[in-house]
Amino acid sequence: MIEQKQDIEKCDCNVIHQDIVNQVKTRMPPEEQLYDLAELFKVFGDSTRIKILWALFEAEMCVCDIAFLLSMTQSAISHQLRVLKQARLVKNRKAGKVVFYSLDDEHVKQIFDQGLIHINER
Protein backbone atom coordinates (compact mmCIF):
# COMPACT_ATOMS: atom_id res chain seq x y z
CA MET A 1 0.00 0.00 0.00
CA ILE A 2 1.25 3.42 -0.91
CA GLU A 3 2.11 5.57 2.04
CA GLN A 4 -0.81 7.84 2.88
CA LYS A 5 1.29 10.81 3.86
CA GLN A 6 -0.57 13.66 2.22
CA ASP A 7 1.26 16.90 1.72
CA ILE A 8 -0.81 19.45 3.50
CA GLU A 9 -0.33 23.12 2.81
CA LYS A 10 -2.31 24.61 5.65
CA CYS A 11 -2.02 22.50 8.78
CA ASP A 12 1.17 23.68 10.45
CA CYS A 13 1.29 20.97 13.09
CA ASN A 14 1.50 17.20 13.35
CA VAL A 15 -1.55 15.06 13.34
CA ILE A 16 -1.91 13.58 16.76
CA HIS A 17 -4.69 11.05 16.29
CA GLN A 18 -4.77 9.93 12.69
CA ASP A 19 -7.32 7.19 13.39
CA ILE A 20 -9.89 9.54 14.87
CA VAL A 21 -9.38 12.06 12.10
CA ASN A 22 -9.95 9.41 9.45
CA GLN A 23 -13.04 8.12 11.18
CA VAL A 24 -14.55 11.57 11.57
CA LYS A 25 -13.72 12.38 7.97
CA THR A 26 -15.85 9.50 6.70
CA ARG A 27 -18.80 10.72 8.76
CA MET A 28 -18.68 14.34 7.65
CA PRO A 29 -21.54 15.52 5.41
CA PRO A 30 -20.55 16.84 2.00
CA GLU A 31 -18.75 20.16 1.99
CA GLU A 32 -21.54 21.82 0.05
CA GLN A 33 -24.21 20.91 2.57
CA LEU A 34 -22.21 22.35 5.45
CA TYR A 35 -21.64 25.49 3.43
CA ASP A 36 -25.36 25.85 2.77
CA LEU A 37 -26.08 25.34 6.43
CA ALA A 38 -23.71 28.13 7.35
CA GLU A 39 -25.35 30.37 4.76
CA LEU A 40 -28.75 29.69 6.29
CA PHE A 41 -27.59 30.54 9.79
CA LYS A 42 -25.88 33.63 8.48
CA VAL A 43 -29.34 34.86 7.53
CA PHE A 44 -30.50 34.29 11.11
CA GLY A 45 -27.39 35.99 12.42
CA ASP A 46 -28.68 39.53 12.29
CA SER A 47 -31.03 41.00 14.86
CA THR A 48 -33.00 43.01 12.31
CA ARG A 49 -33.82 39.87 10.38
CA ILE A 50 -34.57 37.97 13.57
CA LYS A 51 -37.02 40.70 14.54
CA ILE A 52 -38.67 40.65 11.15
CA LEU A 53 -39.12 36.90 11.27
CA TRP A 54 -40.45 37.02 14.79
CA ALA A 55 -42.94 39.68 13.83
CA LEU A 56 -44.11 37.53 10.95
CA PHE A 57 -44.74 34.66 13.37
CA GLU A 58 -47.63 36.76 14.60
CA ALA A 59 -49.06 38.26 11.44
CA GLU A 60 -48.59 38.99 7.79
CA MET A 61 -47.28 42.54 7.48
CA CYS A 62 -46.40 45.07 4.84
CA VAL A 63 -42.99 46.69 4.51
CA CYS A 64 -44.15 49.94 6.01
CA ASP A 65 -45.63 48.26 9.06
CA ILE A 66 -42.43 46.38 9.73
CA ALA A 67 -40.35 49.52 9.33
CA PHE A 68 -42.57 51.33 11.81
CA LEU A 69 -42.60 48.42 14.25
CA LEU A 70 -38.81 48.23 14.32
CA SER A 71 -38.21 51.99 14.07
CA MET A 72 -36.14 51.53 10.98
CA THR A 73 -36.00 52.88 7.46
CA GLN A 74 -38.27 51.44 4.83
CA SER A 75 -35.21 50.95 2.67
CA ALA A 76 -33.32 48.99 5.31
CA ILE A 77 -36.30 46.70 5.83
CA SER A 78 -36.76 46.21 2.13
CA HIS A 79 -33.15 45.19 1.73
CA GLN A 80 -33.43 42.67 4.54
CA LEU A 81 -36.68 41.26 3.24
CA ARG A 82 -34.88 40.53 0.01
CA VAL A 83 -32.27 38.53 1.89
CA LEU A 84 -34.99 36.62 3.72
CA LYS A 85 -36.83 35.95 0.51
CA GLN A 86 -33.73 34.69 -1.25
CA ALA A 87 -33.27 32.27 1.61
CA ARG A 88 -36.87 31.17 1.04
CA LEU A 89 -37.80 32.13 4.59
CA VAL A 90 -40.49 34.65 3.65
CA LYS A 91 -42.84 35.06 0.74
CA ASN A 92 -44.85 38.05 -0.40
CA ARG A 93 -48.20 38.92 -1.81
CA LYS A 94 -49.07 42.11 -3.64
CA ALA A 95 -52.26 43.99 -2.93
CA GLY A 96 -52.23 47.12 -5.00
CA LYS A 97 -49.41 49.35 -3.87
CA VAL A 98 -48.90 47.34 -0.73
CA VAL A 99 -46.74 44.23 -0.50
CA PHE A 100 -47.49 41.85 2.34
CA TYR A 101 -44.80 39.57 3.64
CA SER A 102 -45.36 36.34 5.51
CA LEU A 103 -43.39 33.28 6.62
CA ASP A 104 -42.54 30.68 4.04
CA ASP A 105 -41.23 28.01 6.37
CA GLU A 106 -42.65 26.24 9.38
CA HIS A 107 -39.27 25.17 10.77
CA VAL A 108 -38.06 28.64 11.58
CA LYS A 109 -40.00 28.84 14.82
CA GLN A 110 -38.61 25.50 15.92
CA ILE A 111 -35.07 26.56 15.12
CA PHE A 112 -35.56 29.77 17.09
CA ASP A 113 -37.04 27.90 20.03
CA GLN A 114 -34.07 25.55 20.13
CA GLY A 115 -31.79 28.56 20.06
CA LEU A 116 -33.63 30.16 22.94
CA ILE A 117 -33.26 26.99 24.98
CA HIS A 118 -29.52 27.28 24.60
CA ILE A 119 -29.49 30.95 25.49
CA ASN A 120 -31.68 30.55 28.53
CA GLU A 121 -29.72 27.68 29.97
CA ARG A 122 -27.73 28.47 33.07
Partner DNA sequence: TGCACATATGAATATTTGTTCATATGTGCA
Partner DNA sequence: TGCACATATGAACAAATATTCATATGTGCA
Rounded to a whole number of angstroms, the minimum distance from the CB of residue 102 to DNA is: 12
Decide: 75 and 81 in contact? Cβ < 8 Å: no
Number of residues that bind a copy of itself (CB under 8 A): 70
Counting contacts by CB under 8 A, is residue 50 touching a copy of itself? Answer: yes
Decide: 49 and 43 in contact? Cβ < 8 Å: yes
Determine the residue type at 86.
Q
Rounded to a whole number of angstroms, the minimum distance from the CB of residue 43 to DNA is: 8
Residue 72, Cβ neighbours under 10 Å: how many? 15
Counting contacts by CB under 8 A, is residue 47 touching a copy of itself? Answer: yes
Binding site for DNA (CB under 7 A): 10, 12-14, 16, 42, 45-46, 48, 62-64, 72-76, 78-83, 92, 94, 96-100
**Residue 88 binding target from a copy of itself, DNA, none, CB below 5 to 8 Å by type:** a copy of itself
Q: What are phi and psi of 10, to 5 degrees?
A: -85, -50
DSSP-assigned letter for residue 3: -
Counting contacts by CB under 8 A, is residue 110 touching a copy of itself? Answer: yes
Counting contacts by CB under 8 A, is residue 25 touching a copy of itself? Answer: yes
> Which residue from 118, 63, 117 is spatially nearest to 90, judged by alpha carbons?
63
